[in-house]
Amino acid sequence: MISPRFLSPALAAAFTAVSAAAALNMLAISMMPISASHAQGAEAAQVTAPEPGQPVIRDGEAIGFMGDSITQAGAASPSGYVQLVISGLKANGINVKSYPAGTSGNKSDQMLGRLKGLLDKKPTWITLSCGVNDVWHGPKGIPLDQYKENITKFVDQCQAAGVKVMILTATMIMESQDGKLNNELVPYNDFLRTLAKEKKCLLADLNADMQKEVAELKAAGLQGNTVTGDGVHMNPAGNLMMAKGVLRAFGLNDEQMKKAMDHWLDIPHACEVKAGITLREYLAIQDAAAKAKKSTGQVLNKSVKVKLDVGDEKADKAEK
């Protein structure tokens, strides 16, 4: 490279000016791909609600499921909503990879802190289920203004990385919408609905789905908790409700949902049901299992299947 000190004053000045301009131009060029890349990534990650029957999720993609204990449990059981979503898509010829990221007790600040680890796995989609603990934990929860900031940052970071987001409204806290905690949850979910629209994320309005499901089951005469085991954490019916909401948000129509349901209904060992029986009844089941050289669980499963298939009146004869 020529040094300006070997040139005449006029040429040296011109050389310096040209060099400075070139340096500035190179700096601008080096900076452009970074900002453009982020902008292009965020734009590519924006998505609008699909028409039913035209799923926006594709075969070979991957979903990260960010959430709290509801999501953690939803990935641990064959009837959990995370596993139901994956198997429901597979029943429709859409094979995707799952990255479960539910952690018990997590609030929005903790999920934001864990996001990088999930993004490092390169998912195509991330579903976000967050809000129950932010409200439920009271003084140790997250105020609405901070929640808004955390969730907005979460979505922005996902989209900047080119990852598409589906926001799940927070499910009910106890199965009574008139309760204090559910009233406090309302503005959190209102914000999620607004943010999904503004940021062009998919929305699965599971809170609305849950309110509807609870009301219908109670109207049908079901006593106690209907879609949860304890008022918050989902039982099999609640996980089914959540999975349906997610799949419909992805764009599955009634026919595709039926394919998913047909598959779900026969998943082996999908549910565990607690039932109180007497010691006499338990010993009778144990004795029947020993005679049949089976486990007590196998005998109970067969007994339930027989009763459901042939009806109570014929069940005793069939079992004998």
Position 215 scores a pLDDT of 97
The tokens for 31 are 């900076």
What sign has the CA pseudo-torsion 268, 271, 277, 279? positive
CA 82 – CA 32 distance, rounded (Å): 39
**Domain boundaries defined on the chain:** 4-43, 62-264, 279-319
Q: Could you give the angle at which helices 144-160 and 108-119 cross, rounded to 10 degrees?
A: 10
Position 9 scores a pLDDT of 57
| C-alpha 241 chain-centroid distance | 12
pTM (2 d.p.):
0.81
Full DSSP string of 108-175:
HHHHHHHHHHHHTT--SEEEEE--HHHHHTGGGS--HHHHHHHHHHHHHHHHHTT-EEEEEPPPPSSS
Position 315 scores a pLDDT of 43
Q: What is the pLDDT of residues 16-58, one digit of tens each?
A: 554 454 444 444 434 444 355 566 668 889 999 999 999 999 9
CA 174 – CA 132 distance, rounded (Å): 10
Residue ranges for the chain with pLDDT beneath 50: 1-4, 6, 11, 14-15, 18-19, 21-34, 312, 314-320
- For residue 320, which amino acid is it? K
What sign has the CA pseudo-torsion 79, 85, 89, 94? negative
| C-alpha 95 chain-centroid distance | 17
For 269, the 3-state DSSP assignment is coil
Q: Is the distance from CB of 283 to CB of 123 less than 8 angstroms?
A: no
Quickly name the fold that domain 62-264 has: Rossmann fold (3.40.50)
Give start and end residues of each alpha helix (H) in the chain. 9-44, 69-76, 81-90, 108-119, 132-136, 144-160, 180-199, 206-219, 236-250, 254-264, 279-292, 296-310, 312-319
Position 48 scores a pLDDT of 94
Q: How far apart are the first and last CA of the chain?
A: 99
Position 42 scores a pLDDT of 83
CA 84 – CA 74 distance, rounded (Å): 8
**Within 13 A of 269's CA, how many CA atoms are on the CB side?**
4
Nearest alpha-carbon partner for 206 in 137, 131, 105: 131
For 99, the 3-state DSSP assignment is strand
The tokens for 20 are 């400075």
Nearest alpha-carbon partner for 231 in 210, 245, 249: 210
Position 94 scores a pLDDT of 99
Sheet hosting strand 97-102, strand order edge to edge: 97-102, 62-67, 125-129, 164-168, 202-204
Position 16 scores a pLDDT of 52
Put residue 207 in one of left, alpha, beta given phi > 0 → left and psi -120 to 50 → alpha. alpha
Position 165 scores a pLDDT of 99
Position 34 scores a pLDDT of 39
Position 12 scores a pLDDT of 52
